Structure formats: C-alpha cells, structure tokens
Structure 1
Amino acid sequence: MLKDALKQYFGFTTFRPGQDSIISSVLEGQHTLGILPTGSGKSLCYQLPTYMKQQPTLVISPLISLMDDQVMQMKMQGEHRVVAIHSGMEHAAKKRALQQLTQARFIFVSPEFILQPHHFNLFKNIRFGMIVLDEVHCLSEWGFDFRPHYALIGKVTRYFNEATVLALTATATRHLKDDIQRVIQKSVHVIEHSMDRPNVALSVKFMSSYEEKVDWLIDTIATSGPTIIYVSSKKVSLDLATSIYEAGYLTGIYHGDLSYQERHTVQQQFLNNDIRIIVATSAFGMGVNKPDIRTIIHFHVSPTPSSYLQEIGRAGRDGLPSQAIALFQPDDQYLMETLALVNIMHASDVDQYEVGQMIDSEKRAILDVLTQAFSFQQLRQIFAQNEDMKRQGYRHMYHYILTKQCRRQHLLNYFGMTTETTDACCDQCDTLSPVYEKNKKKVKRKLTYIEKLENLFH
C-alpha cells in the first residue's frame, strides 16, 4: 500500500532507509520522533502521509530560509496548495498567504508566529491531520534560551489534539526525546537511523595562528569545489571574505545581521554556482539544498557535536566523496567554550526574576515567555540540565579535535551510535586524498602603485 502511494504521488518505486518506518508510524496515529541523516529525504515523511490522510499539515520550522526552500521545492514538484508565512514577507504577500490558509494543504510557520494570539486565532478552525516539528533539535538547543517560544509548542499540539505529531531531525541527543515529551506532553515513538555520512571524510588541521589559517585556506580553496567556510562571528566573516576576494575568488558572506533579501540573494547565487565559496556563521545551512557541496571548512570549530554534525552534513548530499576539515589553533579552545555557553540561562536568573530583582532585559523577556508553561522550580532544573548538556557538548568537541582514535566514531559516540569502517573515514584511520575540484579565479586584482611602477621597467 505504501509503495503504491509513493508511486502514485511521487513517481518513486522505493523508499530511502527509514522513510517507510516513519510514515507507517504516523499513519498508525503514533506521535513520532524520526531521526534520519542529513539529505535523506525527511520531507517525504510528512508529505506522503498528508496526501494519504487527505488532511492539511502544519509544519513548524526554525528558519525562514528553510521554509522558503521547502515551499519552492514543493511548488516545483507541482504542489501549489502550500504557503509559508514569516516576517521576511512583504505585506501584500503575507496578506495573500493568510487568505489561502483554509485552502492550503501544507502550512509553514515559525513558533514565534503561530504563538502570537492574533495569529493563532487564524488557525483555530483548520482540522490538521499532522503537526510537524521540523529540525526539532532546535527545540533542545534553543528552546530554553534565545528561542523560548519553542518551549511553548505544546500549546499548539494540545489545541489540535487530534493531529499526529511528527518530529524530524538528523541529530538527536539522548536528551531530545525527553525535551519533546516535556514540551508537547505526549509520548513519542522513536525511529532512529544512523546519523553517519560515510562519504564525508573528516580531518583536523592544527595551526599556530590566524594568519596561518588564512594562508592554508587560500591554498586549499583553489581545488576544494563548492565550499562553505564556517566562522564564529560577523566580523571574522567579513575579514576572511575580504582576504579570499583579494586572492581572486568570488565569495559570498552570510550572517544573521543580513536582511531577508540579502540572505536570499546569497543563497541563490551559491545554489546556482554563481559563487562557489561562502563564508558564514552558523546562521547559514538549514534550507540550503545544494547536493554538490564538496567541502566544509570550520575556521572555528562548532561548540557542540549536534551543530557540527548538522554543518558537515551539508557536504556530499549527491553521495560523491566530500570532506569536512576543522582548523584549530591553541586559543580556539577558549572561543569554543565561550560560544557553547554564550547567553545561557542560569538557575540564579530564575531566583532574581522570581523576587523582582533587576535582570538583563533579554533574559527577562525569555522568562516572561517560559513562565507561561513552566514553574520557577521546573525552570531552575531545566536551566541546570541545559548548562550541563552544553558543557558536555563543548568538552566532547574539544576531545574530537585532540583524539588519536577514529574521529567519526568519537563524534557518533555522543549520540550513542556506532559507525561501520569506510574507505576514507578520517585522518586518524586513513591517509586521505583531498577533494580536487577547481574553483576558477574570477576577480581581477587591482595592481598596487608599486606593482604598476615595476611593470613600467620590466
């Protein structure tokens, strides 16, 4: 029956590993957490049941870029009863989308959007068959600090009580199931497949300074194919992109302070191969459906195994050999720890908030949201667990850099998984052959005054 439906609606004859198990679970009415590797077709796991159940689906998504990409992909496949509503839309487009709500088959929104009371009222008369929590690891990683509305998603799932909840991710820690069940107040059935991407070779390069990193990078990108370079801040992205541009390569910059239109333009240029190198903060990635990314370089290493696995999982989605390279210099350890714990909420913040003491305005705003769903004592416990989890994640990534054992297995250990040996696993297991795919220089460097003078006399 499932294969017949797959053929009817999508023209495929076989499922990718894990898809059929997740779809069967959802069709049986089980609230489900589906864990599949990056690029393994998670969207089919809610699209096919939507067609089979003949009821609309609500998709709660973390990023505008991800919503836009999924809507575009579905429209290209011929599905026109799909809308996304978010803050990046112009007023007229948003008005049109809201008018289409009751006729839509798929509706994409952020937690912040749907939990505004005047927005929530627009959805109350829709009988959703499914509620999808896409990239649900964001609930654990962001829901109890800078994206607190994630922790209130239970308000949505309780109101639409007859809808089946499907949570999807490529990276699930041991805490994720507990976090989901605590938020939606429902038991979830877990279907888990390996998060490993065996065609992405892993390595670490040790450097003595920032300058050595830059020199190595300029040499490497000559033959690295389409490449994403992850950095820790907007300032570093600008500085590094300038250095790459001066070396002759067209380079895109992506960080959280860009406007919606600027981010969209950079993504499209990268997808169309107008530019083949992106220097980005962690804001870039989800929703970038480019199958031929050959290289991921972490100029600064991600502070958690989950974010690192997500970011390197953007390479090689076409199944061809690809590489993920982490650069490390001695003072990067302090930076990793700082990034892991930045803006984290503490139990002491709850103490101050409870008695009305002065508290940072951003933390007060977060607690204003979280106290709608959790008691002060619950929040103290949640914040303590969250801090402990982030410290564990940072330490695991630091040991990933230093380990003399298999890097792939070390990374997967954090998620309680094992890996099968691959031909090009990591720099501790094998002598790796680097990716070789030329990136042409397209920027004609302006000659300096001294060089112009020298040219006159030679």
Structure 2
Amino acid sequence: MLQKALQEWFGFDDFNPGQEAIIQSVLDNQNTLGILPTGSGKSLCYQLPTYINQKPTLIISPLISLMDDQVMQMKKKGERSVCYVHSGMSLEEKNKNLKFIKKSKFIFLSPEFILNRDNINFLRDIDLGLIVLDEAHCITEWGYDFRPHYALVGKITDRFPKATVLALTATAPKHLKEDLNEVVNTQFREIKTKMDRSNISLTHFNFDNDNEKMKWLLEKINCSGPTIIYVSSKKKCRELAQEIYKAGYLTGIYHGDMSYQERQTVQQQFIQNDIPIVVATSAFGMGINKPDIRTVIHFHLPTSPSSYIQEIGRAGRDGIYSQAISLYQSDDAFLLETLLFSDMITDADINAYKNGMLLPVEKQSIIDVLRTRYSINEIHQIFQRSESRKKEGYIRMLGYKNLTTCRREYLMSYFGENVQKPESCCDNDGIQEIINVKNPKKVTRKMNYLEKLNQIFTNN
C-alpha cells in the first residue's frame, strides 16, 4: 500500500532508509520520533501520511528560512494547499494566510505564534490528523533559555488529543527521546537510521591567533566551491565577510538581526550561485536547500556535537564528496564559554523570581513563559539539567580540537552511533579526495563592502 501511495503521490519507486517505517508508525497512530540524516527526505514522512489520511497537518517549525524553503519546495511540486505565517511577513500577508488556514492541508507555524492566545483560535476548529515537531532537537537545544515556547509544545499537542505527533530530526543526542516524552507528556516510538553522512570528510586545524586563521581561510576559499563559513557572532560575521570581500570574492552574510528581505536575498543568491560564499551564524544552520554546497568551514568551534552535525549537514546533499573543516585558536574556548553560559538562568535568578525581585527583562520573560506550564521546582531542575548538558557538549567539542583518533567515531559516539569509515573519513584516518572547485566570482573593488551589500539587496 505505501509503495503504491509513494509512486502515486511522489513518483518515487523506493523509500529512503527509515522513511517507510516512520510513515507506517504514523499511520498506526503511534507518536513517533524519526531520526534521519540531513538531506534524506524527512518532509516526505509527514507529507505522505497527510495525503493518505486526508486530514490537515500542523508543522511546528523553528526558523523562517526553514518554513520558506519547505513551502517553496512543496509549491514547486504543485501542492497549493499550503499555509504559513511568520514574523517576516507584512500584516497584509499574515492576514491573507490566516484566512487560508482552515482550507490548508499543510500549516507551518512557530510555537510562539501558536501559543499566542489570539492565534490559537485560528486552529481551534481544525481536525488535525498530524502534528509535526520539525527539527525536534531544538526543543532540547533551544527550549528553555533561548526559545522557551519550545518547552511548551505540549500545550499545543494537549489541544489536539486525536492528532498523532511526529518529531523529526537529523541530530538526536541520547537524551532527546526522554526530553520529548516529558515535554509532550507521551511515550514516543523511536525509529532511527544512521545519522552519519559518509560523503562529508572531517578536518580540523589549530592556529595561534585569528590572523593565522584568516590567512589560511583566504587561501582555502579560492578552490572550495560553494561554501558556508560559520562564525560565533553577528559582529564577527560582518568583519569576516568584509575581509573576504576585500580579497576579491563576492560574499553574503546571514544572521538573525538582518531583515527578512535581506536574508531571503542572500539565501536566493547563494542558491542560484550568484554568491559563492556565505558567512553566517547558526541562523543559517537549517532550511538551506542547496544541494551542491561543497565546503562548510567553522571559523569558531560550535557549542555542541548536535550543532556541528546539523551545520555540516548543509554540505553534499547531492551525494557528491564534500568537506567539513573546523578551526580553533586558544581564545575560542573563552568565546564558547561566554556564548553558552554568560546569560544562562541560574538557581539564584529563579529564587529571585520566586521572591518577587526584578530580573533582567529577557530572563524575566523566559521564566514567565515557563511558569505557564512548570512549577518553580521544575524550572530549577530544567536549568540544572540544561547546564549539565551544555557542559557535556562543550567539553566534547573542546576534545575534538586535539583529537588524534577518528573524528567521525568521536562525534558519532556522542549520539550512541557506530560508524563505517568511508575512504575519505577524516584528517586522522586519511582523506583520499580533494575539492578543487574554483570560486571565480571576483568583484571590482570600486565600492566598499557595505555599499556592495546594499546594491545586492536593492537590485533584487
């Protein structure tokens, strides 16, 4: 039956590994955690059940770029019964899409939007067949001190007790299933395939300072093919892109403070190969459907193996050999610590909140949100556990920089996964293939970098 439905709706003869088992589990009304590698067709796992059951599906999505890409891909394939609303839209666009919600098969929304009292009413009378928690690792990674509404997705699933819940991710630390069971108040059935992407080699370099890093980088990007360079901050994003532009390469930047239109422009120009290189924060870590990215470089180490696997997973989605390269210098350890722990909510903050004392606005609002579902004692436990897991991921990434054994095995063991080493595995095991794809898009340096960026945006 499923094979026939796959052929009828998508024209495919066979499922990718894991897809059929996940879809069958959903059709059996089992709340399911599906773990598939990046680029392996996770969206089909909710699209096909939607067509078979003929009931609408709500997809809870973490990023605007992810929503944009998924909606665009579906519309390209002829599916028009799609609705989405996000903060980058004008009021007119939002109202237009909201009117279409009750007629849509696929509804893409953020948890913040759904949990707004005014907005939940738009979904109230819809007989949802399926609720999808897309990029479900965000519930663990973001769901307390960054996007607290992610920790409240159980309030959404509670509203629709007849709907099956499908959580999808490419990066599942060992504790993810436990966290999801707690947040959604259910028992997920886990279906897991290999997360390892064997066509991506892993290499790491240590440097004495950022100047050495930059010198290496400017040499490397000459022949790196379409490339994403991840950095730790918006400020560094701008600085690094400016240096690359000065060296003669048309370069895009992508971070959370840019307007929706600016981010869309950079993304589309990168996909169309008008811009060969994008310098980005982790905001560019999901929802980028460009199959021929050959190189992903981390100018700073990511904060956890989950983030690293997610971000390098942008590369090589066409199945062709690609490379992931990470860079490190000694000051980066302090940078990582600051990113992870400087604004973290502590026991002292929670006690102060309990006693009616004022906290910084951001911390106050996070605890306010969590208090709609959790007790003070539970919030203490949540942040203690969150700190412990952040430390575990941080220590694991610091260990990566001086590794002499297989990098692939080291990363995948964090997820409890054994690996089969490909020929081009990592720098410690030997890499047989070399990427030599020229980035010829030189620019005439008659204007400064910011002027050039402005030209890109205004000409789009």
TM-score band by shorter chain is over 0.9
Larger radius of gyration: 1
Q: CA deviation at 1:343?
A: 2.4
TM-score of the two chains, using structure 2 as the length reference: 0.96
Letter in 1 for 2:418: T
- Number of aligned pairs? 447
Letter in 1 for 2:256: G
Match for residue 53 of structure 1?
Answer: 53
Q: Do the aligned partners of 1:347 and 1:381 also contact (CA within 8 Å) in 2?
A: no
CA distance in structure 1 between the aligned counterparts of 2:102 and 2:340, rounded to whole angstroms: 42
CA distance in structure 2 between the aligned counterparts of 1:441 and 1:371, rounded to whole angstroms: 52
Judged with a 3 Å threshold, the aligned counterparts in structure 2 of structure 1 residues 432 and 357 are, in CA distance, closer, same or farther, namely farther
TM-score of the two chains, using structure 1 as the length reference: 0.96
CA distance in structure 1 between the aligned counterparts of 2:345 and 2:45, rounded to whole angstroms: 34
What SS does the corresponding residue of 2:33 show, helix, strand or coil?
strand
Letter in 2 for 1:293: I
What SS does the corresponding residue of 1:205 show, helix, strand or coil?
strand
What SS does the corresponding residue of 1:402 show, helix, strand or coil?
coil
Letter in 2 for 1:84: Y
Q: CA deviation at 1:432?
A: 4.8
Match for residue 247 of structure 2?
Answer: 247
CA-to-aligned-CA distance 1:384-420 (integer Å, 9 cap, x gap): 0110000000000011111111000000111111110
Q: CA deviation at 1:199?
A: 0.5
What SS does the corresponding residue of 2:283 show, helix, strand or coil?
coil
Match for residue 223 of structure 1?
Answer: 223
What SS does the corresponding residue of 1:266 show, helix, strand or coil?
helix
> Superposed, which structure 2 residues align to 1:289-300 within 5 Å?
289-300=289-300
Q: Do the aligned partners of 2:61 and 2:67 also contact (CA within 8 Å) in 1?
A: yes
Q: CA deviation at 1:186?
A: 1.1
CA-to-aligned-CA distance 1:231-276 (integer Å, 9 cap, x gap): 1111111111111111111000111110011001000000100001
Alignment pair present for 1:364 and 2:370: no
Judged with a 3 Å threshold, the aligned counterparts in structure 2 of structure 1 residues 344 and 83 are, in CA distance, closer, same or farther, namely same
Letter in 2 for 1:43: S
Match for residue 113 of structure 1?
Answer: 113
CA distance in structure 1 between the aligned counterparts of 2:160 and 2:87, rounded to whole angstroms: 24
CA-to-aligned-CA distance 1:143-199 (integer Å, 9 cap, x gap): 111211111111110110000000000001111111111111111100011110110
Q: Do the aligned partners of 1:202 and 1:425 also contact (CA within 8 Å) in 2?
A: yes
Match for residue 331 of structure 1?
Answer: 331
Match for residue 136 of structure 2?
Answer: 136
Q: Give me the CA root mean square deviation.
A: 1.1
Letter in 1 for 2:136: V
Instruction: State, as a whole percentage, how many aligned pairs show the same letter.
Output: 56
What SS does the corresponding residue of 2:145 show, helix, strand or coil?
coil
CA distance in structure 2 between the aligned counterparts of 1:230 and 1:342, rounded to whole angstroms: 21
Match for residue 257 of structure 1?
Answer: 257
Q: Do the aligned partners of 1:53 and 1:129 also contact (CA within 8 Å) in 2?
A: yes
Match for residue 163 of structure 2?
Answer: 163
Q: Do the aligned partners of 1:203 and 1:426 also contact (CA within 8 Å) in 2?
A: yes
Q: Do the aligned partners of 2:354 and 2:376 also contact (CA within 8 Å) in 1?
A: yes
Letter in 2 for 1:421: K
Gaps in structure 2 of 5+ consecutive residues? 448-460
Match for residue 452 of structure 1?
Answer: none
Letter in 1 for 2:175: H
Match for residue 41 of structure 1?
Answer: 41
Q: CA deviation at 1:342?
A: 3.9
Letter in 2 for 1:29: N
Gaps in structure 1 of 5+ consecutive residues? 448-458
Letter in 1 for 2:181: Q
Letter in 2 for 1:332: D
Q: CA deviation at 1:446?
A: 5.1
CA distance in structure 2 between the aligned counterparts of 1:346 and 1:245, rounded to whole angstroms: 41
Match for residue 63 of structure 2?
Answer: 63
What SS does the corresponding residue of 1:83 show, helix, strand or coil?
strand
Match for residue 204 of structure 2?
Answer: 204
Match for residue 91 of structure 1?
Answer: 91
Letter in 1 for 2:91: H
